[in-house]
Amino acid sequence: MAGMAAQAEKINPAIGRTMAGADIVIETLADLGVDTVFGYSGGAILPTYDAIFRFNSEHDGGAGDAMQLVVPANEQGACFMASGYARAGGRPGVCLVTSGPGATNCVTPVRDSLADSVPLVLLCGQVPTGAMGTDAFQEAPIVNIMAPCAKHVFLVKDTAKLEPTIRAAFEIAASGRPGPVVVDIPKDVQNGECEFRGAGHTLDLHGYRRRIRRILGNRLTPEKCRDFFARLGESQRPLLYVGGGVIHSGAADSLRAFADRYRLPVVTTLMGIGAVDTTHDNSLHMLGMHGTAYANYAVEDCDLLIAVGARFDDRVAGRPDVFAPNTRAIMHIDIDSAEINKVMPAAWFHHGDAGITLRDLMDNDGGFRAGFGPWLEHIRRLKRKYRLNYRRDGDLIQPYYVLELLNSLIDGEAIVATGVGQHQMWAAQYLDYRHPRSWLTSGSMGTMGFGLPAAIGAQFACPGKMVFDIDGDGSLRMNFGELETVTTYGLPLKVLLMNNFGDGMVRQWQKTFFKSRYAGSDKSLYRKDFVQAAKADGYPFARRVNNKADLPGVLREFVAARSPAFLEVVIDQDAGVYPMVSPGTGYKQMITGDYIARREDGAAGEDDVDPISGSGMF
């Protein structure tokens, strides 16, 4: 939002001019610093598409003032691109679609963005106000449909309300706990005329702004800081449990400084990956259903759990009654008060911004000095003994091997987007992530087809960075048309398809829980030639690897390619995601497969947990 604020400070020559509502939309977006819009045209939004065309004709070549319009294969792709743009760039993504099916195609990305707290602004065309409610051509009740899926929905019936509503939409999307905001704009409102007013002309969000100010102003008192460090001082095995809220709030630097100062090991949720450098000695990577065994065992062993921007969802605390059984207390920091005490009771909690709260704690620690050396040594032993592993011999290409090779080439310095399924979990487990906003995935909704359009959006947000879509054959099919979008815009995006000829995660569950009845999940009879399709879409690099010996060399070429690149790797169809915590069980019942070590009883016994004395704590 800093770039948008700087843009808004400029004196806009359009201020005071009377213009059509469609021009108001585009002028307001430009005034807010929007440089890229993802969308698909149609009858009810044509006035605004014409306005963006005319705006760019007037601003072409003018110090980057033109607004890039990215046209995908369909509206779901456009909205996921806007989501990827927001996730990678840290500022609201913008999607512009027509009424009816154009808008309803965006329901899934909007709900996906709400579930993952992603700032998104969706602008929808609508039939003229006089035709609303008559089942007019391409009419859909978007306010009713989107209301439970978005952070907020606006229907604009007065052209004079367009500018303030759009400004308010951006404010709501980006503030507090971020989320998607939908603005429904009838065609006659786009064609109406009014005066463009410029920065500051927004809706009166008095109640909302008061709540946001209260959250941001909710600072820790000295007494509450003392209580925090008293509890930390009584602990021998503290553990930081970090979620996506740390990344969304821009608190990763504060979190890293906090963990380093007090020598705290860190586990992250799927959405929290990148909040800490996964190569750091004290990083235990991801916990939960498919978390690393050593992260889950650390949760079993800890006696104090400090949750920051995390919500104890069912993939982490599937059985709250047995989650973190040796923990004497939970401390919870979150910007959304609804998450505190929702699943796990907190002995100490604070409702506020994660970064501000962590800095307040560091500024008021009373000289606290950590003495958790024995616990950190225990953590290192957990990482050695229960490390990720897999079958390394045999002729079939193992997906873990593919990602280990890729990791050696990119070293945690790329942006990675994924679809949903086994490949998503393997990418979370086997790749390193040194920076926040480098891991983009559909977490709460688990939406197949997310990866490719999200990667496209990320590449537009971060044009100088290397961006990968790591996908599975099932997920890639969902938005396969967006392969052409990559080549249309000449993006140096890299698509790595791990093909196991089926819906791998579904197959794994069917094998484990349904006696290998693979109903609807086996795609081995399908005849999709992904490489030929990529070539037809203009990929200069489009290869398939079946032979394990060929993989290292081809993968190096793939990573080195400076043009759009597509690589299909045929992997072992029976490869599974391990560890796995089955639904309705606790971490003690974690399934680690044949190659990852596990505790015999799954419990922290005398041989596993070191007796740690209270000496040397300060």
Residue in 390, 402, 435 with CA at minimum distance from that of residue 594: 390
What radius of gyration, in Å, describes the C-alpha atoms of the chain? 25
What band does 312 get if pLDDT is binned at 50, 70 and 90? very high
Q: pLDDT value at position 615? A: 29
Q: pLDDT value at position 62? A: 55
Q: How far apart are CA 440 and CA 244, in angstroms?
A: 11
Q: pLDDT value at position 612? A: 42
Rounded average pLDDT over 151-164? 98
Q: pLDDT value at position 370? A: 83
Name the residue with tokens 């987007």: 417
Q: pLDDT value at position 613? A: 37
Q: How far apart are CA 354 and CA 586, in angstroms?
A: 28
Q: What is the pLDDT of residues 1-18, one digit of tens each?
A: 444 444 445 678 889 999
Q: Where are the domains of the chain?
A: 2-215, 219-385, 399-570
Q: How far apart are CA 475 and CA 378, in angstroms?
A: 39
Q: What is the pLDDT of residues 467-508, one digit of tens each?
A: 999 999 999 999 999 999 999 999 999 999 999 998 989 888
State the catalytic residues.
75, 137-138, 187, 505
Q: How far apart are CA 404 and CA 153, in angstroms?
A: 44
Residue in 39, 23, 41, 22 with CA at minimum distance from that of residue 138: 41
Report the side by side order of strands in the sheet with 120-126: 68-70, 36-40, 93-97, 120-126, 180-186, 152-155
Same fold, 219-385 and 399-570: yes
Listed in sequence order, the residues at least 6 apart from 221 whose beta carbon sits closer than 8 Å to its beta carbon are none
The token pair at 361 is 């704690």
Q: What is the CATH number of domain 2-215?
A: 3.40.50.970
What band does 616 get if pLDDT is binned at 50, 70 and 90? very low
Lowest mean pLDDT among 103-107, 274-278, 549-553, 583-587: 583-587
Tell the CATH topology of 219-385: Rossmann fold (3.40.50)
pTM recorded for the entire structure: 0.94
Phi, psi of 139 (to 5 degrees): -100, 140
Q: What is the CATH number of domain 399-570?
A: 3.40.50.970
DSSP string, 509-563: HHHHHSTT--TTTB-TT----HHHHHHHTT-SEEEEE--GGGHHHHHHHHHH--S
With 0-12 CB in 10 A as exposed, 13-18 as middle and 19+ as buried, what is 476?
A: buried
Name the residue with tokens 């401390």: 331
Q: pLDDT value at position 611? A: 41
Q: What is the pLDDT of residues 44-81, one digit of tens each?
A: 999 999 999 999 999 875 556 899 999 999 999 999 99
Rounded average pLDDT over 578-594? 93
Residue in 152, 168, 77, 151 with CA at minimum distance from that of residue 115: 151
Q: What is the pLDDT of residues 17-30, one digit of tens each?
A: 999 999 999 999 99
Residue in 248, 177, 249, 171 with CA at minimum distance from that of residue 204: 171
233 CA to centre of own chain: 34
Q: How far apart are CA 120 and CA 246, in angstroms?
A: 18
Q: How far apart are CA 563 and CA 544, in angstroms?
A: 17
Helix, strand, coil abundance in the chain, percent, nearest 5: 40, 15, 45
Q: What is the pLDDT of residues 389-427, one digit of tens each?
A: 999 999 999 999 999 999 999 999 999 999 999 999 999
Q: What is the pLDDT of residues 268-301, one digit of tens each?
A: 999 999 999 999 999 999 999 999 999 999 999 9
Contact between 260 and 395 (Cβ < 8 Å) = no
Q: pLDDT value at position 64? A: 61
Lowest mean pLDDT among 83-97, 430-444, 446-460, 513-527: 513-527
Terminus-to-terminus CA distance in the chain, angstroms? 41
